[in-house]
Structure 1
Amino acid sequence: MGYTKEQLLARLQELNIDFTCYDHPVVLTVVEQAKYVGHLGGALSKNLLLKDKKHRLYVVSALTDTKVDMKILSQRLGLGKGGLRMAPEENLLEVLQVPLGCVTPFALINESASAVSLLLDQGFKSKQSCYFHPLTNDVTIALSSSNLDKFLISIGKQPAYVDLEASPAVGKDNPPDLAHLVPSGVLNSSEQPVENVTPTNVLHQNNVPKATEVKAKPKIQSKSAEKSQSKVDKPNNGTSVEKIVNDVFGIISPLFLDEVSKKLNVKKEELSLILDLDGLKGRAAPDLESVTTSLKNASYTAGFHAGFETMRNGGLNSLPSRK
């Protein structure tokens, strides 16, 4: 069980950290949050949970107007151009132990997030107060970057402030400048390989006496059965945020080239050589993925509330009976 909002705020008080709480309705995006606290003059933040190919996790906290290019950031970490992507929702729940819309540096207080790396926008340093959700998105707290540092140091995290918009050359003579921020690669419990599970971690239903164990003969499947099985087992990526973003760019890119070529009277083939569509995608993808994730979360939330209201209004009698 992760920390609660109340436990986090109590921890801040124990550390003598000055902060101000602002209650508001649940918000899923920075735009919605700004409606309630944007006029107060603090620095709003966007927070991303990213994952590399080795399943190492990174929380990137940036000012809302900071442009985060994941391809460039990936290169600066020494992960190559495509080494970073948005982490799946499972990592939010299992590692940070917060739902969608609640990612902030404060989530690193949970022991399960001890191996997560944190990159902070250096722009926070120049702000009098910075705004973050305290593990729940119906509250915003304001505190200075120095007090944020105090909190991070108390949980064993050395604050690392980075110019997230910088694009230094990376090559043989210019090693990645952020390589020291790559986590050690420790896997969380949910990602441990199956062969590393000890007998004490096996579920009780597997602890049957040896005398009653019956070894079943291996089941031989026909080729046709294997094909049908592979079709069934293939995961459905219809709700993948990354897939949606790629599909959007796949639709928009040719339309964009067609319109611009007409306006400038230039052939599309020549225009595609001039315009860096991959670079445009890299700059726009983080914001588009964030919006898409928020919409996905909103759909889940709406569905839950609709189901809950139906059950509450209908009572237990509305539930299907079992015979």
Structure 2
Amino acid sequence: MGYSKDQLLTRLQELQIDHAKYEHPVVLTVEAQAKYVGNMGGALSKNLFLKDKKHRFYIVSAMADTKVDMKVLSQRLGLGKGGLRMAPEEALGEILQVPLGCVTPFALINESARHVSLLLDQGFKSQDRCIFHPLSNDTSIFLAPSGLDKFLKSIGRDSAYIDLEANPMVGKDQPPDLAAFVPSGSTVLPDTPEKVASSQVSTGNHVILDSKSVAAKVKKPSSNMQHVKENSAPAAQPSLLFKDPEKFVEEILDKTSSLLLSEITEANVKQQGEQLGTALVNSLRKRLSSDLKNLATIYKNTAYTEGFYAGTHHQPKRS
């Protein structure tokens, strides 16, 4: 069972993250949500839950008036023009563990969402307060972008702020600028028919698009990913973690140490000597394999992106 709204709010209090809560009737569209909280000072958000052909999942959290072109976004991720589509409804329950209309970055607190990639609209960074559903669409919470960053850091995520409306060239000499954000892990769901919307439907913070509609627009009211610095360069700059080999190794050691301590705590105290050691090793290999592969893939993609960026932006001195 995933986190509940009350558990999430308690977690925010424990982290001492300043936030305001406003309860309202269940809303299924951003417009409906705006009727209750749109004039209370804060930037409404729309959240897309997407998947690619390899069953890798993404949350794209955008300002309410940001145009998200899924074909462009797919190319920027290196997935081709048709590589992204809306995730099936059953994935909401299986992976994010939230009902329809409740997609939110806070769903990443659930272990089942550990491989879900998160892309945040860079527009949030200039807002005093942002508005999200706290795992339930009968409530809205207001918090500063720094509060969201603090929450994400507490669950082992870095905040990846992206210009979602950018449309950089992608080709042989212009690699996809968001390739480092493609998760290496995949989730296999039961083979059930996906529910396809016949037209665009905005379900609270979850926007469903048909194959002809690739951008959602409403009235504006503010594993591990990467921090992206705002500058004039078209490419997103990866986190320092994946540029520094020492920090990269420290991250691996931190994950291993944390998991080892949790395994010792949970281990059967009756197990002794070689028996306990074997059990721990097997458990560590099983539980760390996917995470370490994910880290290594991000490191590789970051190195590739950094190398290309350095090569294309290096200006030789004229004699």
Which stretches in structure 2 are left out of the alignment for 5+ residues? 201-209, 218-319
SS in 2 for 1:176: coil
Contact 2:78 2:178 in 1 (8 A): yes
Larger radius of gyration between Structure 1 and Structure 2: 1
Could you say which residue in structure 2 is the equivalent of 1:174? 174
CA distance in 1, matches of 2:72, 2:212: 9
Could you say which residue in structure 1 is the equivalent of 2:136? 136
Query: In the alignment, is residue 285 of structure 1 matched against residue 241 of structure 2?
Result: no
Correspondences of 1:216-227 after superposition (within 5 Å): none
CA distance in 1, matches of 2:83, 2:60: 15
Could you say which residue in structure 2 is the equivalent of 1:305? none
> For residues 225-247 of structure 1, what are the alpha-carbon distances to aligned partners after superposition, in whole Å with 9 as ceiling and x for unaligned?
xxxxxxxxxx877x522xx249x
CA distance in 2, matches of 1:7, 1:105: 15
CA distance in 1, matches of 2:130, 2:69: 22
CA distance in 2, matches of 1:68, 1:285: 7
Could you say which residue in structure 1 is the equivalent of 2:121? 121
Could you say which residue in structure 2 is the equivalent of 1:184? 184
Could you say which residue in structure 1 is the equivalent of 2:285? none
CA distance in 2, matches of 1:135, 1:75: 30
Could you say which residue in structure 2 is the equivalent of 1:147? 147
Q: TM-score, normalised by structure 2?
A: 0.62
Pairwise CA RMSD: 2.2
SS in 2 for 1:107: helix
Could you say which residue in structure 1 is the equivalent of 2:196? 240
Could you say which residue in structure 1 is the equivalent of 2:94? 94
CA distance in 1, matches of 2:109, 2:166: 29
CA distance in 2, matches of 1:109, 1:165: 27
Could you say which residue in structure 2 is the equivalent of 1:162? 162
CA distance in 2, matches of 1:283, 1:170: 22
Aligned-residue offset at 1:186: 3.2
CA distance in 1, matches of 2:176, 2:91: 26
SS in 2 for 1:119: strand
Could you say which residue in structure 1 is the equivalent of 2:17? 17
Q: Which has the higher helix share?
A: 1
Identity value in percent: 68
Which stretches in structure 1 are left out of the alignment for 5+ residues? 194-234, 247-280, 289-323
AA matched with 1:40: M
Contact 2:17 2:147 in 1 (8 A): yes
AA matched with 1:14: E
CA distance in 2, matches of 1:282, 1:90: 19
Contact 1:69 1:283 in 2 (8 A): no
AA matched with 1:240: V
AA matched with 2:83: G
Contact 2:68 2:214 in 1 (8 A): no
CA distance in 2, matches of 1:85, 1:162: 19
Contact 1:60 1:119 in 2 (8 A): yes
Q: TM-score, normalised by structure 1?
A: 0.62
AA matched with 2:122: Q
Could you say which residue in structure 1 is the equivalent of 2:274? none
**Closer, same or farther: CA 119–236 of 1 in aligned 2, 3 Å:** closer
CA distance in 2, matches of 1:240, 1:172: 34
- Size of the aligned set, in residue pairs, is 209
> For residues 159-209 of structure 1, what are the alpha-carbon distances to aligned partners after superposition, in whole Å with 9 as ceiling and x for unaligned?
100000000000011100000000013325x46x9xxxxxxxxxxxxxxxx
Aligned-residue offset at 1:283: 8.2
